[in-house]
Each structure stands twice: as C-alpha cells, then as structure tokens.
Amino acid sequence: MSTIEAARAWLAQDPDASTRAELSALIDGATAGDPAATAELDDRFRTRLAFGTAGLRGALGAGPNRMNRVLVSQAAAGLAAFLLEREATPSIVIGYDGRTGSAAFARDTAEIMAGAGVTTTLLPRLLPTPVLAFAVRHLDASAGVMVTASHNPASDNGYKVYLGGADAGSQIVPPADGAIAAHITRVAAGSIVDLPRSSTYRIAEESVIAAYVSATAALVAPPTTPVSFVYTAMHGVGWETAQQVFARAGFAEPTLVEAQIAPDPAFPTVAFPNPEEPGAMDLAFETAARVGAELVIANDPDADRLAVGIPTEDGWVRLSGNEVGWLLGWRSALRASALGGDRVLACSIVSSPALAAVAAHFGLRHVETLTGFKWISRVPGLAYGYEEALGYLVDPQVVRDKDGISAAVDLLALASELKSGDITLARHAEAFAALFGGYASSQISLRVDDLAEIPRIMARLRAQPPGAIGGRPVIRVDDFAGGFGEFAPSDILRLWTDDGSRIIVRPSGTEPKLKVYIDASSTTGSARERLADAGAKVAALDAGMRALIA
C-alpha cells in the first residue's frame, strides 16, 4: 500500500474533524506533487508510535506516527483485548489532564473499553496523574490509563498504562508492554469504525478524590511552624488537588503564580512546561521575591513531579532533583528505621549515590533500578524511591508511582520542622554533607533535531571510549547493551573515573535528547569543603563531557 493509499484509509476511519482536515490537505498536496506535503505524509505514515513501557507519547496530529483519536482507539482496543485475555471480568479506571485532546482520548478509551466488556470507570474531570495511580489501587481495578504527556512540549500528548492486582498499581513493564503492543497491531489491521463502543461506563464519585486527599495529607503531622511558600501548577492540573491536600494537612494557603495556576494546554508562559528547563520557574521566583516567601513549590503539568526553590545570597535557585531526593530520602529513612523490618530505599541508576549512603547509615537496604518509576515502584519492601528527574515516591502504601503532591507535603513538613529550630533547607543540606558526605551532580541534555544523531554518538562512545574526562582517568566502562548484572539490556553506558566519580550516558525515553548524568562525592574537610570539592569534580567532568559529545 502506498503512503497516499494508507493516508486515505486512515482518513476514512478518523472521527476527528480537525485531523481529517489536516490529513486531507496533506493528501491533496502530495497528490499535486508538493514535496513538503509528500515528506510530511511520509513522516506520519512510514512508522507508528511505538507502544512500550512508557505507553504512548508523541506529537499531536493525523497518522499512525502521531497522537490522535484513531491511534488512541486502537490502543484502547488492544489494551482491552489484553485485559480480557488475562481475566474473565477485568476493570479499568481512566484519567486525563488538561492537554489538547486529553478529554476526547479518555472518552474514546472509556467507550471502547465498555464496548469490549471491560468494567470501566472514568474520573470525573481533569486531574493529576497521582490521583489516577491512586484510583487503580483504591478501586481495585485491573488496570488504569492516564492520558497525559506529563512535562513534554505543548504539541505532545501521551497514554500511560498501569496494572492492578499483582502489579499493585505500577506502570507496565515487559512482557506486558509487548503483549499489549501485539494486540494493538492486530486491531490496527482493521478500522476503528468496526470497534464496538458503549456509553455504559461509570463516572467516578468524588469520594475517590477525597480518599486520595485524606491519605496524602495523613503522611505528615500538622505543621508546628507556618511556612510561607509560593505555588505554581505550571499551567497544569495540580492546583485543585494540591490545595485540598495542603489545607487538609494544616498548611496555610500559598501565594499563587496566577499566570500559571489554571490549566492551559498552550503553556503560554514557558518554552517547555518542565520545571527542570531553564526559565520555567522564573515567574515563581519573581513572585517569591516580591512577597518575601521562604520556599517555592512547583508541580509539572500532571503533578507527578516536584520542583523546589529556595532563596540564597545570589537570589532564588532551584534545588536539583538529587538534592531534593536525598533530603526526602533522609527523612524517609528516619521513618523507616523507626518502623523496623526489612525496608528499602531505591533510586534509578542515574540518580545520586547519596541515597546509598543514607541507607547504609540507617541499616536499610538500598536498591538501584533502571530509569523509570515503573521499576522503582516494584522494588519489594520499598519505603522510599526517587529519580533525579524530580520524581519522588514518599508513600508507597498510597501510590505506586512518583507523586509531586505527596512529595510537596513531605517537603513542606520538613521545612516547618526545620524552621521551628531556626534552620533553613540550605543549612539542612550542609548537615547532610557533614553526616553522609558531600555529593554533587550535573546533567547534560543534548536535544537533537535528527534522532539518528543519538545512536551515532552512543556508537562512537562504545567504539572509542574516552581514556580521560575532565582531566580524570577513566578506569572502567560498563556497557548495559547486552545486560549488566541484574539489569536487562539497555542503551546505557556508565563510566568510572579514578576518584570514584561516575558518568552515565543514555538516550531519553520520552524526548529527542541524549542525556548525561555526572556524580561525584567527597568526605574531606568540613561540610562546606566537602560540597565544594564534590562540586569542583563535577564541574570538570561536565566540561569534559560537553566537549566529548559536541
């Protein structure tokens, strides 16, 4: 079948007027010999968005290589077939955020699931991802779907899948992803027009959201000392739920970044709606400086991530994901050690080794996983998990995924307790260095226009690994391509220098980026000297890696 024939077949089953018009114009252009239209059609139809352990994620538009109602309907029918294959009477709960297309994708999924005979519940309105993850367990559902592209650009949307039962509400991992993908491929051979649909799905009661709010607020004791903070939802869906949790936990109302508080799929005030991106938190910092706040709390658009800003002598700065991760890890270790038993602190391999030092200090086990909370959430005995990309799991008994709202509550409780002793988060970080060692990290994100550039760089590093980086000899290279230790095969390189510093290189799983993670530590001198020494090591390695992959 030619590309134009495939496009016409797609057009015939597309229920969305906007993508039909878009595709019709491209077909007309390609038929008339327009090279730009021909190239665009080829990009949209030469492949399809792969369904994997991150579900689906990609740019909105017509065609199998874009996110749209046809692709989502195929995914829903494939997932329904998978669930019906696993059990006689499966159930599913579906959530969605405020991105373009999210509500329609969620309704399509609900109708197709119900039409296939899956007991289906749709959350009542746009809500954060952690509420959906909670609902899978709370409703004892066989599965969950969250329609969101998290912190991706405004042009994207996505489709996350969770499994209940023995999977306890975690995101899918192999072999489930492959089995679902196989069912989707079979569905895609036909037309979605032939898929049975039903409107008999249920709308979840408000009690589901209330239960999440209650369970999340119960993580912390009522604050002893008020903390003034600024909150931004980054144009996402976090505020309504976060506001209820903050109030239920006893925290005073924050000052809001008004321009970013309401859901807006255009994300007009940020280049990328990701708190990690340069400039994304500028409005929050300006607001905090104006009102004299002590803290900035930011959620990403689907509120599964948390960013934290603090004032310094040089102005407001965002704590890194690792800095927040090890501070919350320290706090979680205190809780876990008090409870006793075999409890685990876990993080992804690209996150700071500092968590291992915390676990050792408290006699807890430490586990490293591949990147992604789908792995972290499955660690047996988990008391706390995090990854450096602003993801924190502080209450595994409530949600089996990263949760930016529960992490915010835990961080606010920590800030309140510290303030009672006239201690800032910055001073608390120094206390961490004094007790566990000074740790520093940095990350390089090389965004590419040509996706083929990423495998070329990885191949070059494998063929000619550097003998030194930033003036430090490289003494070992771990290649995960064929599997490494307990880890499944992955496109990851890990390099070790002679002073114990570590560099990890891998492609991003959700964005067109090559990512480099650099970590170093020091146990020499005072807390500040340890931090300075670790920071200097990281700075040298960072410069060396930038030159290497440029």
What would the DSSP string read from start to end of 198-248?
-S-PEEPPHHHHHHHHHHHHTTSPPPSS---EEEE-TTSSHHHHHHHHHHH
Percent helix, strand and coil across the chain, each to the nearest 5: 40, 20, 35
Our measurement of the distance from residue 342's CA atom to the centroid of its chain's CA atoms, rounded to an integer in Å, reads: 27
Residue 366 structure tokens: 């430490």
What would the DSSP string read from start to end of 78-94?
HHHHHHHHH-SS-EEEE
252 sits in which H/E element: none
**What is the Cα–Cα distance from 438 to 445, expressed in whole angstroms?**
24
Whether 521 is catalytic: no
**What is the Cα–Cα distance from 73 to 71, expressed in whole angstroms?**
5
Measured in degrees and rounded to the nearest 5, phi and psi for residue 135 equal -65, -30
Alpha helices, DSSP H, located in 316-424: 321-339, 354-361, 373-376, 404-420
Cis peptide before 273 (omega within 30 of 0): no
Catalytic hit among 73, 91, 150, 351: 150
Contact 95, 127 (CB under 8 A): yes
Among candidates 57, 106, 164, which has minimal Cα distance to 400? Answer: 164
**What is the Cα–Cα distance from 237 to 512, expressed in whole angstroms?**
25
**What is the Cα–Cα distance from 80 to 239, expressed in whole angstroms?**
32
Positions of E strands within 339-471: 344-348, 365-369, 382-387, 391-393, 438-447, 468-469
Residues 6+ apart with CB under 8 A from 501: 472, 518, 519, 520, 521, 537, 538, 541
**What is the Cα–Cα distance from 117 to 32, expressed in whole angstroms?**
45
Go through the chain and tell me how many residues it has: 550
Q: Which residue is it, tokens 């506001």?
A: 243
Contact 143, 163 (CB under 8 A): yes
| Active site residue ranges | 150
